[in-house]
Amino acid sequence: MKLLHPASWQDYELLDSGNFEKLERFGKFVLIRPEPQALWSKSLDEDVWKKTAHAKFVREQTDKFRFTDDVKGGWSKQPSMPESWNVQYNYNGLRLTLRLALTGFGHVGIFPEQGSNWNFIYDTLSGWALQKPKVLNLFAYTGAASVVAKSVGADVTHCDASRPGLNWASQNMQQNNLQDIRWVYEDAFKFVKREVKRGNKYHGLIMDPPPYGRGPEGEKWTLQEQLDELLHMASALLEKKNHFFILSMYAAGLSPLVGLNVARTHFDMKEPEYGEFFLKSAQGKDLPMGTFLRFRE
C-alpha cells in the first residue's frame, strides 16, 4: 500500500487545514474551502487565514462530515479575486495549462492530488510505441486527464454527465493547443454498457466516480452499489496488451483495499499500485484525498 502526493506542482500548495476547512494556493490566489476530513485544529491563526485568502466558500449545512448534493452557501471574495484564472502544471515533457473558476459547489476545476495520476498516464503512454492508443476517461469532469492523454498522441473519449463540465474540458483542450477529443454527454454506466455491446476496446481506462451522482436523464449513481458491476463491464473494454487502468475514489470511510478487491475480481492485474493520495501540508498536517488503484502492462 502506498501513500502518494503530487510532488510536481508549483502552482498549487496546501498552506494549512483544520476545523473542517483547508487553505490552498492555486497560482496567485489563496482560497478557503470546506474539508470534511480536516478534524484537527488549524496550525495558523485565524487572522492569518483571513488576511491570506482571496476567497472563501461556506457551506450552510449541519453535517460537517458529509457533503450533500444540496449545496447552500457560496463564495465571499476580495475585489482582486477573478471569476476564472489559469494555472500551470509541469512534469518532465508535460506542460499543462488548466482553467480554474469559482463554482457554485465550491470546486475550482481540478483536484490537485490527481497530478500523480497525470504523471502515470503521461509516463505510460510515452513509453509505448503505439500509434494513437485509445483512452476512455469516465466521470471525466473538466478533462485534465483527457488533455494529458491527448498531449501524448492518444485517441481520447471523454465521458461525463455534466454539460458545463464538458464545455470546461473543451476549453482546457483548446488552451493546450489540442483538438479532436471525443466528447460524450452521457451517463458513464450506460455508455460503458453500450461500448461493451459494440465490442469496442481501449488501451487505457480512467475513472474517478463520485460517491453519488445523477446522469443527464436523472440516472442514479451510487458508488457502493454499482462499482462492482461497472468494473465487471469495464474489464471487457480493456485491450489484453499495452493497457492501463486507473480508479480513483473519494468516499470517506472506504479503504484502498476496496478498490483493490473489486478490481481483482474482474481484471488480471500484474503488480497493481494501490493506496491513498494526500496533499502535503506546509504545516505538517497532511490531508488525505481519497484512494487509488492503478496498473499497466
* 115-124, 159-168, 249-258: the lowest-pLDDT one: 249-258
pLDDT band at 30 (very low <50, low <70, confident <90, very high): very high
Q: Which fold has domain 111-296?
A: Rossmann fold (3.40.50)
pLDDT at 41: 98
Class assignment of domain 2-84? mainly beta
Sign of CA dihedral 218, 63, 138, 149: positive
pLDDT band at 149 (very low <50, low <70, confident <90, very high): very high
3-state helix, strand, coil in the chain (%, to 5): 25, 35, 40
* 35-44, 105-114, 133-142, 243-252: the lowest-pLDDT one: 243-252
The answer to whether the beta carbons of residues 110 and 146 sit under 8 Å apart is no
pLDDT at 71: 56
User: 188-198 vs 223-235: helix axis angle to the nearest 10?
Assistant: 20
Query: Would you list the domain boundaries of the chain?
Result: 2-84, 111-296
187-199 residue pLDDT tens: 999 999 999 999 9
C-alpha cell at 263: 478490481
- Please state the rounded mean pLDDT for residues 282-286: 94
d(CA 152, CA 121) in angstroms, rounded, equals: 9
Which pTM value belongs to this model?
A: 0.94
Task: Give kind and range of the element (H or E) at residue 17.
Answer: strand 12-18
Is the pLDDT at 66 greater than 70, yes or no?
no
d(CA 279, CA 286) in angstroms, rounded, equals: 6
DSSP E strands in 60-202: the ranges are 73-77, 84-91, 94-101, 134-138, 155-160, 182-185
pLDDT at 48: 97
C-alpha cell at 41: 485544529
pLDDT at 213: 83
196-254 residue pLDDT tens: 999 999 999 999 998 888 888 888 878 889 999 999 999 999 999 999 999 999 876 78
